[in-house]
Structure 1
Amino acid sequence: MRCSRRPVSRRVVAAVWTDRPLLLYTSVLLTVLHILPVDIVSGSAGDFNFPIDSDSLYEGDKCGLPGTRTGICRKAALCPHGIRSNGARCEFSGNDPVVCCPDTTQSTGDTTSNRITIRIAKQECERFSSGSTHLTDHVSGRRLEADRGEFPFMSLVVFGGENSEGTRCGASLIAPRFLLTAAHCFRDASPAKVYLGIILPNDAEKDEYLVRQLHTHEEYRSRRNDIALLELEKDVVFKRDVSPVCLNTDVSEIGPTVNLTVMGWGSDGNGMRADKLWKAVVNEIPLDQCKQMYRSANLSVSITDDQLCALGEIWQDEYTDACEGDSGGPLVMRVRQKFYIVGVVSTGAPCGGQIPGLYTRVTRYLDWIEQRVWGGSQS
């Protein structure tokens, strides 16, 4: 992993919200009130009030309204009936407040077809918390050693066979028996086992699990659909330093202002392989801008909506980036003390340059992941 070394004292946006939730909730909400139609703002008191339930719900979740009615958590600006009083509190989506909005599809007849579908990935996220016991502030533009237990979902893939020498890839624990990784890691070698709960590649304090089966995306072609699952022989035992990461289910753009963390045991760009787990902060680069950067560098790489571009800050003419050996590892964001995996390290130009790295965008493969890990979506 090639990283710059100039520290910047800024925190991930989600962490700032945790420090000052009421102030930001109010200021952003006032902005929304300003842009809402007059007929909504001037509605009756019962049609426009702050929700008071403290349970955390997210955009798309089913929520409760006064009486026996239910609603759906939607962005406030998109809710035609305003913010209902006594409804469940819905959390932010990016910078937008989310409110409990009446479900206009409900009827007094058969409601089976109107049932709100909640992704099983979101349900599993609530069941298995990915909160770290060693959360630290992210420092942008700097390569840092990861603390033990800071990323309890991070795994090192161990390969078998004659072609395994020198091969190194990461993977992310997402369920008791499944890890998410990159398909290209297994073009020349097969996964034999994974190490969890480690900092050093040869760490004596490790949990070792054998790989039962490799599930590569059926339409994987070079840089396209570069995603795979590792199915283990037995369930992982969760503990302080070993627990799964949540899958990001929010399909909206992350944006360049949100700090993302990439980690791995890859090289530093000069061919020096890491002897411990390193982390670095990068930011999303809009796809249009990313495509233009590749074209300007005369790199004939087809970049699609299934991918995400990210790059960190510059220091001494070198940029923070994932590098060789980091493949398959996670790109995560932290929201309310939980990590969400938004991308899988895939490919890119030589690391350390000004060309963003390419990651497989997790939200584009949720159906594929859920079907193989949990047997499909639930409602």
Structure 2
Amino acid sequence: MYRVQTFWFLLVWLGLVIARRLNDVSEGDKCKLANGTGDGICTDARDCPYLRTVPQTDWITCGFNKSEPIVCCGPGDVTIKSTKTKSRVSLISERMCESFSMSGLSHHVFGGSIAAVNEFPHVAALGYLEDGTIKFRCGSSLISERYLLTAAHCVKEQKPQLARFGVVHLFEVNPQEPPVDIGFKNSIIHPNYTSRPLRNDIALLELDRSITEPFIHPACLYTNLTDPEPHVILSIEGWGSTDPNDFDSSPILLKANVTTLDREGCNSTLVQDKSRRSLGPLQNEQLCALGRNLRNETVGDTCVGDSGGPLELILGHRRYLVGVTSSGRLCGSTWPGVYTRISRYIDWVESIVWKS
């Protein structure tokens, strides 16, 4: 009896192994795209331009390579890795991105939801000394162990005193998990920055020490010169105002989903602004984004206090900074938010952050 049971157990086990092998797909294998739209190839999510042309609900996962998802990738023209602004094997920022660990005055996240602890380990609030106290008025993103990326207008008129990392609640300090406050050694505003009209609104802040905390990680730079498609979901985060009539900072880090707007549609809106701080027409180094639901109602926007914060694309466990929150007009309205296109400044960023 024991031998019979053992024999049948081995047959069942062998059948399961064979079935698993038959169903296994890995990188390079053929796969079926969602909704019967055709065939694809199982590809590392970071290398699949197809993900920028379809809604996230239509992504098909083949498996995982360590913590990075392998997805069923349809036809595409370029990849994040292979897009160059220089004729060389790869960009420094792209090579550095591969080494990053990942964990899961213009503006704010209007209509956003509360971020989870450590959900955005690259985001830092910028604190300014006013009347003997620290006021937080802008956001920023860590892009290396020593540098933050932010908006130039967050640095031009008044230099921030510190960057606050590692918190969702900005003011309620937990003694067991205190915020990480780091000062600055230097600030570098883009040499062609102008406030009127608002152009080249991007700056770098050098921390006065390197990041050593294991829960703080840099984000990657989006180097593709083509913006994510209008139906690809992007994320914005910040501690800015949650009320268009109240400019006080939100005490809690908020997040919201947005999508890009096509340049023609964005320009048709921007040129209607007849105020003295007109933003239009959209420049090559700028892009538009706004949150929407199926009824075309605003569901997420930036507002006062979010400037300098990220507009990002999430692929697997990596976050790619597509834009820097720059400007807008009305919080949570049909007016689009304007962001500085990071892909247009890769050479400038690299020449400072990873100078040889």
- The two structures have a TM-score, normalised by structure 1, of 0.67
For 1:172, what is the secondary structure of its paired residue? strand
Instruction: Tell me, in whole angstroms, the C-alpha distance in 2 between the residues paired with 1:25 and 1:118.
Output: 32
Instruction: Tell me, in whole angstroms, the C-alpha distance in 2 between the residues paired with 1:216 and 1:171.
Output: 14
The CA deviation at 1:224 is 0.4
Unaligned runs of 5+ in 2: 1-26, 50-69, 80-86, 105-109
Structure 2 equivalent of residue 366 of structure 1: 346
Residues 1:301 and 2:279 aligned together: yes
CA shift digits 1:152-197 (9 cap, x unpaired): 0010111236598655111101100001000101233212111111
1:24-35 map, 5 Å:
24=33, 30=39
Instruction: Tell me, in whole angstroms, the C-alpha distance in 2 between the residues paired with 1:301 and 1:309.
Output: 11
CA shift digits 1:108-167 (9 cap, x unpaired): xxxxxxx852011111110013341xxxxxxxx952100000000010111236598655
CA shift digits 1:227-285 (9 cap, x unpaired): 0011011110141x311111111222311111111110000123153111000111101
Instruction: Tell me, in whole angstroms, the C-alpha distance in 2 between the residues paired with 1:178 and 1:28.
Output: 43
Instruction: Tell me, in whole angstroms, the C-alpha distance in 1 between the residues paired with 2:311 and 2:72.
Output: 19
Q: Which of 186, 196, 199 is the aligned partner of 1:213?
A: 186
Instruction: Tell me, in whole angstroms, the C-alpha distance in 1 between the residues paired with 2:263 and 2:47.
Output: 26
For 1:291, what is the secondary structure of its paired residue? helix
1:108-187 map, 5 Å:
116-132=88-104, 143-160=112-129, 166-187=135-156
Report the residue type matching 2:97 in the other structure: C
The CA deviation at 1:296 is 3.2
Residues 1:283 and 2:259 aligned together: yes
Report the residue type matching 1:371 in the other structure: S
Identity over aligned pairs, percent: 33
Report the residue type matching 2:352 in the other structure: R
Change over 3 Å in CA distance of 1:192–1:122 after alignment to 2: same
Structure 2 equivalent of residue 73 of structure 1: none
Report the residue type matching 1:294 in the other structure: L
Structure 1 equivalent of residue 249 of structure 2: 273
Structure 2 equivalent of residue 329 of structure 1: 309
Bigger drift between 292-301 and 177-186 goes to 292-301
Instruction: Tell me, in whole angstroms, the C-alpha distance in 2 between the residues paired with 1:353 and 1:23.
Output: 40
Q: Which of 157, 161, 169 is the aligned partner of 1:188?
A: 157
CA shift digits 1:42-79 (9 cap, x unpaired): xxxxxxxx7x9x7787489xxxxxxxxxxxxxxxxxxx
Unaligned runs of 5+ in 1: 1-17, 32-49, 61-90, 101-114, 133-140
The CA deviation at 1:94 is 9.0
Q: Which of 217, 225, 248 is the aligned partner of 1:251?
A: 225
Instruction: Tell me, in whole angstroms, the C-alpha distance in 2 between the residues paired with 1:168 and 1:180.
Output: 15
Structure 2 equivalent of residue 312 of structure 1: 291
Structure 1 equivalent of residue 32 of structure 2: 23
Structure 1 equivalent of residue 208 of structure 2: 233
For 2:118, what is the secondary structure of its paired residue? coil
**Contact 1:148 1:199 survives alignment (8 Å):** yes
Report the residue type matching 2:218 in the other structure: P
- The two structures have a TM-score, normalised by structure 2, of 0.71
For 1:370, what is the secondary structure of its paired residue? helix
Structure 2 equivalent of residue 35 of structure 1: none
Structure 2 equivalent of residue 352 of structure 1: 332
Instruction: Tell me, in whole angstroms, the C-alpha distance in 2 between the residues paired with 1:360 and 1:123.
Output: 23
Change over 3 Å in CA distance of 1:27–1:340 after alignment to 2: farther
Cα RMSD for the two superposed structures:
3.4
Report the residue type matching 1:217 in the other structure: H
Instruction: Tell me, in whole angstroms, the C-alpha distance in 1 between the residues paired with 2:267 and 2:296.
Output: 25
For 1:296, what is the secondary structure of its paired residue? coil
Report the residue type matching 2:220 in the other structure: C
1:51-62 map, 5 Å:
58=47
The CA deviation at 1:337 is 2.3
For 1:292, what is the secondary structure of its paired residue? helix
Structure 2 equivalent of residue 67 of structure 1: none
**Contact 1:343 1:362 survives alignment (8 Å):** yes
Change over 3 Å in CA distance of 1:276–1:116 after alignment to 2: same
**Contact 1:28 1:97 survives alignment (8 Å):** no
Structure 1 equivalent of residue 11 of structure 2: none
